[in-house]
Chains A and B, each alone.
Chain A
Amino acid sequence: MAPDIAKDHTRTAPEPHLVLHTNSDLAIIFHDLFQEGVLVDAKVGTTVQTFLCEVLGLTPQYVEERIQTIFLNGKAVDDPLSAVIADHAAIALSAAMPGLLGATLRKGSYYAAMRGEISHEGENNLHPHEGKVLLKLFNLIPGEIGSFILGRGVWLKGDSLKKFLEKRLLRLLEGCLRADIDGKSVDLKKLLQQEWPADAAVFLRVCFL
């Protein structure tokens, strides 16, 4: 399940910012975060295509060819140009998938009728404004665009970050060169003792070297 960090805006204290400087071969350990979902700052009230190309910076060709399956709030999107994203919407991106289900869930699938009940109907009510989007990346996609997105920075719940650090500390100790919290350098080993606001958002940025 995705972390419920939708209500993080209600905090008044500034959210902690963690910046990690790591070797690029460590990128794979961050893929877990994308399976669960991370929040990204985005212009919402725009189309999925605008989000992918203008917010995430993907090329239309990449969206067309590599991202074969898109879910918006759990519904399969056929036309990224007509599906509009609301604030705190969940978007999941996947490469091409095997089997009948894989074929059926693809965008613009010949078999779209078979999953009509969960097809996103699309709308044209555009009203762009600043917000956040819960982004999930599956299978081949995090390996292709995950580092870029982490380089821009993502939001995640404090206890999700804590769990991630617990699980990945050993690898981080091997390949992470520096960690800063709110602009101050911290000892990597001490990251585990750090108090993160459990239910509220923490900003994480990873600079791959």
Chain B
Amino acid sequence: MDQLLRIDMGAQGGPKVTVTEPGEYEGLGGRALTSAIISKEVPPLCHPLGADNKLVIAPGLLSGTAAAMSGRLSIGCKSPLTGGIKEANAGGQPSQMIARLGYAAIVLEGKPEDGSLYKIFINKDGVKIIPDGSLKMLGNYDLVDKLKGEYGDKIGVISIGPAGEMKMSAASIACTDMEVRPTRHAGRGGVGAVMGAKAVKAIIIDDAGMKMRSPKDSKAFQEANKKWVEGIRKHPVTGQGLPTYGTNILTNVINEAGGYPTHNFMWGRFEGCTKISGETQAELENARGGEGSATHGCHRGCIIRCSGTFYDKDGQYITKQPEYETVWSHGGNCGIDDLDAIAMLDRLDDDFGLDTIEMGATVGVAMEAGLAKFGDTQGAINLVKEVGKGTPLGRILGNGAAVTGKVFGIERVPVVKGQAMPAYDPRTVQGIGVTYATSTMGADHTAGYAVTANILGVGGKVDPLKPEGQAELSRNLQIATAAVDSTGMCLFVAFAVLDQPETFQSLIDMINSFYGLKLTADDVTALGKSVLKNEKDFNLRAGFTSKHDRLPEFFKKEPLPPHDIVFNVSDKDLDSVFNW
């Protein structure tokens, strides 16, 4: 896996394919690779929807190998939502398939001017780029069904729905799962709009005839992978909690902590919490049954299987098991305590190709603006349908919470750098607020690798009991996150890694034995720092200053019940996060 597949969609005479050696990008994968290419090749001041922006689709370093949990795909570009650099990542099958075909990344460049919409087919024999007007404005589900009819059901598909075609800033990019359903989304930052701007509706990947990537030192790799799997299986979070309840296991606990943003971040507890908790969701899914109901993986090689499949009361497939973030954004954040309604909203988002966090936050802002009442499930569904139809109201909503707040004159808009916040109120867990404020990505929750920072000792040891440690902790977390995001590992391996240093070592051993390297934990730290440095540097050149590393004012002014606290980390501390 070491070639770059570059497709210039705006080339004279039609899209042009070039396959190049990785050159200076050698040895990079996932987020490290997407951010390196964007930072080096995209003019920071370019229009995100213009010809100069690039969309980089990169499997992680261990994708396509036998390593368990290694199927995450990173997608990077200049974000139309934040105006800064973006890496959004997703599960599903495509990451493994692209890697097996030998590509370190697919880079979409340029922009066609002829108004055509294209599909790209990639297999062992090469790349075909075909204009296909019949795909216009198809939802992701119909699109994938159509492509399966044409290419068979062994394919992986990376696609956009109508939201991406309409170049909405909340548009996601869908990746198909093991059942070839478009349920796994690189959601954040409007990456789907950039794919839409390149006029690419779908990338169809067929890895038939390709083998698993083979390591330099097979024996050492197998041994490390065995230890890795054992470590993940024996830990209570990855071996028990996540498979049983999924990520929604967090709902009751965050609610108890008073940090569950409710009614557009007005309160920290939701009355209907137990109706939508992971415990309730798992019981409902188990009672309804069906294949892969409460415990299911999003790609082959996942041994945690935090996902599931949501069927309605009559056993009809609706969507994958909605994740914690989705259950919160469309649920508690909007006063909705009905799991069936939340599943329907998740399905609509996936079909239109929308980021569920951004859309839930946007509907929350719209509810505050009076477009529907909090708790009105049908009202919420109608608002999301407006987006799918592309009505004038839908176009406003589809451009996210910040735009919607501005249009309707709402002050309480939970965004940083234009991107909606995930499901934790930063007034309750202020260290998370530091990360929301200073992340290169806008408010982002993918600091899940956070826990590795402790083991890595990134940036030296911090006294965690000192309040001023928050900036340092956040910095360390962001470095560790950036490093592990580059491996292609699912973020939920984090706990096994935290509690079991030997499990972390087995991850490093897998990389070393695969590539014939001798990396140490220090090298991993250096990689994380260099990723962040690239990203920060891009944002600086794109016009970002420390003023953008701030939370919205209401977090400092409105005490959040039940603990009645405001966000009180000083600007000086926020500005110190990137001093290393």
Which residues from chain A sit less than 8 Å from chain B, CB to CB? 1, 28, 31-32, 35-36, 66, 68-69, 71, 74-76, 92, 94-105, 109-118, 136, 138-140
List the one stretch of B139-147, B368-376, B442-450 in contact with chain A: B442-450
Q: Can you identify 23 A-B contacts, CB atoms within 8 angstroms?
A: A35-B274, A66-B236, A74-B562, A75-B563, A94-B252, A96-B241, A98-B492, A98-B494, A98-B495, A99-B494, A100-B451, A101-B432, A102-B237, A104-B431, A109-B464, A112-B464, A113-B464, A113-B467, A117-B428, A136-B252, A136-B256, A139-B278, A140-B241
Q: B274-333: which have CB < 8 Å to A?
A: 274, 277-280, 283, 306
CB of A191, distance to nearest CB on chain B (Å): 21
CB of B269, distance to nearest CB on chain A (Å): 7
Is there an interface contact between B259 and A118, defined as CB atoms closer than 8 Å?
yes
CB of B493, distance to nearest CB on chain A (Å): 10
- For B361, the chain A residues whose CB sits under 8 A away are none
Query: How distant is the Cα of A200 from the Cα of B435 in the complex, in angstroms?
Result: 45
- For A99, the chain B residues whose CB sits under 8 A away are 247, 250, 445, 448, 491-492, 494
User: What is the chain B residue whose CB lies nearest that of A138?
Assistant: B252
CB of B471, distance to nearest CB on chain A (Å): 10
A68, A116, A118: the one contacting B467 at CB < 8 Å is A116
Q: Which residue, B249, B258, B465, B563, has most C-beta atoms of chain A within 10 A? A: B249
B279, B454, B473: the one contacting A35 at CB < 8 Å is B279
Is there an interface contact between B466 and A74, defined as CB atoms closer than 8 Å?
no
Total contacts A to B, CB within 8 angstroms?
161
Q: Is B407 an interface residue (CB 8 A)?
A: no
User: What is the chain B residue whose CB lies nearest that of A108?
Assistant: B464
B283, B434, B491: the one contacting A28 at CB < 8 Å is B283
- For A105, the chain B residues whose CB sits under 8 A away are 253, 257, 429
- For B477, the chain A residues whose CB sits under 8 A away are 100
Is there an interface contact between B247 and A140, defined as CB atoms closer than 8 Å?
no
Is there an interface contact between B258 and A69, defined as CB atoms closer than 8 Å?
no
Is there an interface contact between A95 and B240, defined as CB atoms closer than 8 Å?
yes
Q: Considering the complex of A and B, which 5 residue pairs feature the smallest CB-CB distances, nearest first?
A: A114-B431, A100-B450, A35-B274, A115-B429, A138-B252
B240, B450, B467: the one contacting A111 at CB < 8 Å is B450
- For B279, the chain A residues whose CB sits under 8 A away are 31, 35, 138-139
Is there an interface contact between B430 and A115, defined as CB atoms closer than 8 Å?
yes
Is there an interface contact between B424 and A101, defined as CB atoms closer than 8 Å?
yes
Known: A35-B252, A35-B280, A103-B498. A1 touches B427 (CB 8 A): no
CB of B171, distance to nearest CB on chain A (Å): 25
Is there an interface contact between A115 and B428, defined as CB atoms closer than 8 Å?
yes
Instruction: Kindly supply a per-residue 1/0 record for chain B positions 366-386, scoring 1 wherever the CB is within 8 Å of any chain A CB and 0 otherwise.
Output: 000000000000000000000
- For A118, the chain B residues whose CB sits under 8 A away are 257-259, 428-429, 563, 565
Is there an interface contact between B269 and A100, defined as CB atoms closer than 8 Å?
no
Is there an interface contact between A98 and B257, defined as CB atoms closer than 8 Å?
no
- For A109, the chain B residues whose CB sits under 8 A away are 464
Q: Is B513 an interface residue (CB 8 A)?
A: no
Q: Which residue, A28, A32, A69, A103, has most C-beta atoms of chain B within 10 A? A: A103
Q: Is B394 an interface residue (CB 8 A)?
A: no
User: What is the chain B residue whose CB lies nearest that of A65?
Assistant: B236
- For B430, the chain A residues whose CB sits under 8 A away are 114-117
Query: How distant is the Cα of A171 from the Cα of B330 in the complex, in angstroms?
Result: 31
Query: How distant is the Cα of A102 from the Cα of B424 in the complex, in angstroms?
Result: 11
CB of B385, distance to nearest CB on chain A (Å): 31
Q: Is B242 an interface residue (CB 8 A)?
A: yes
Query: How distant is the Cα of A1 from the Cα of B241 in the complex, in angstroms?
Result: 23
Q: Is B552 an interface residue (CB 8 A)?
A: no
- For A116, the chain B residues whose CB sits under 8 A away are 430, 467, 470
CB of A172, distance to nearest CB on chain B (Å): 15
Is there an interface contact between B257 and A71, defined as CB atoms closer than 8 Å?
yes
Q: Is B22 an interface residue (CB 8 A)?
A: no
Known: A74-B256, A101-B424, A105-B257. A113 touches B563 (CB 8 A): no
Query: How distant is the Cα of A53 from the Cα of B101 in the complex, in angstroms?
Result: 57
- For A98, the chain B residues whose CB sits under 8 A away are 237-238, 241-242, 247, 249-250, 306, 448, 492, 494-495
CB of A152, distance to nearest CB on chain B (Å): 22
User: What is the chain B residue whose CB lies nearest that of A36?
Assistant: B274
CB of B465, distance to nearest CB on chain A (Å): 6
Q: Is B244 an interface residue (CB 8 A)?
A: yes
Known: A100-B448, A103-B495. A113 touches B565 (CB 8 A): no
Given A74-B257, A114-B430, 7 further pairs, Cβ under 8 A: A97-B250, A99-B250, A99-B491, A101-B424, A118-B257, A118-B259, A140-B244
Query: How distant is the Cα of A36 from the Cα of B280 in the complex, in angstroms?
Result: 12
Q: Is B469 an interface residue (CB 8 A)?
A: yes
Known: A74-B256, A98-B241, A98-B494. A115 touches B431 (CB 8 A): yes
Query: How distant is the Cα of A113 from the Cα of B469 in the complex, in angstroms?
Result: 7
- For B280, the chain A residues whose CB sits under 8 A away are 32, 35
CB of B520, distance to nearest CB on chain A (Å): 21
User: What is the chain A residue whose CB lies nearest that of B269?
Assistant: A1
CB of A140, distance to nearest CB on chain B (Å): 6
CB of A156, distance to nearest CB on chain B (Å): 14
CB of B169, distance to nearest CB on chain A (Å): 25
Query: How distant is the Cα of A89 from the Cα of B273 in the complex, in angstroms?
Result: 20
Query: How distant is the Cα of A101 from the Cα of B40 in the complex, in angstroms?
Result: 34
- For A138, the chain B residues whose CB sits under 8 A away are 249, 252-253, 256, 277, 279
Q: Is B223 an interface residue (CB 8 A)?
A: no
Query: How distant is the Cα of A110 from the Cα of B466 in the complex, in angstroms?
Result: 11
Is there an interface contact between A71 and B256, defined as CB atoms closer than 8 Å?
yes
- For A112, the chain B residues whose CB sits under 8 A away are 464-465
Query: How distant is the Cα of A75 from the Cα of B431 in the complex, in angstroms?
Result: 16
Q: Is B221 an interface residue (CB 8 A)?
A: no
Q: B56-109: which have CB < 8 Å to A?
A: none
CB of A5, distance to nearest CB on chain B (Å): 16
A35, A96, A97, A103: the one contacting B450 at CB < 8 Å is A103
CB of A121, distance to nearest CB on chain B (Å): 12
Q: Which residue, A69, A71, A100, A113, has most C-beta atoms of chain B within 10 A? A: A100
Q: Is B245 an interface residue (CB 8 A)?
A: yes
Q: Is B21 an interface residue (CB 8 A)?
A: no
User: What is the chain B residue whose CB lies nearest that of A73?
Assistant: B562
Q: Is B254 an interface residue (CB 8 A)?
A: yes
Q: Is B271 an interface residue (CB 8 A)?
A: yes
User: What is the chain A residue whose CB lies nearest that of B282?
Assistant: A139
CB of B374, distance to nearest CB on chain A (Å): 16
- For A104, the chain B residues whose CB sits under 8 A away are 429, 431-432
- For A95, the chain B residues whose CB sits under 8 A away are 236-237, 240-241
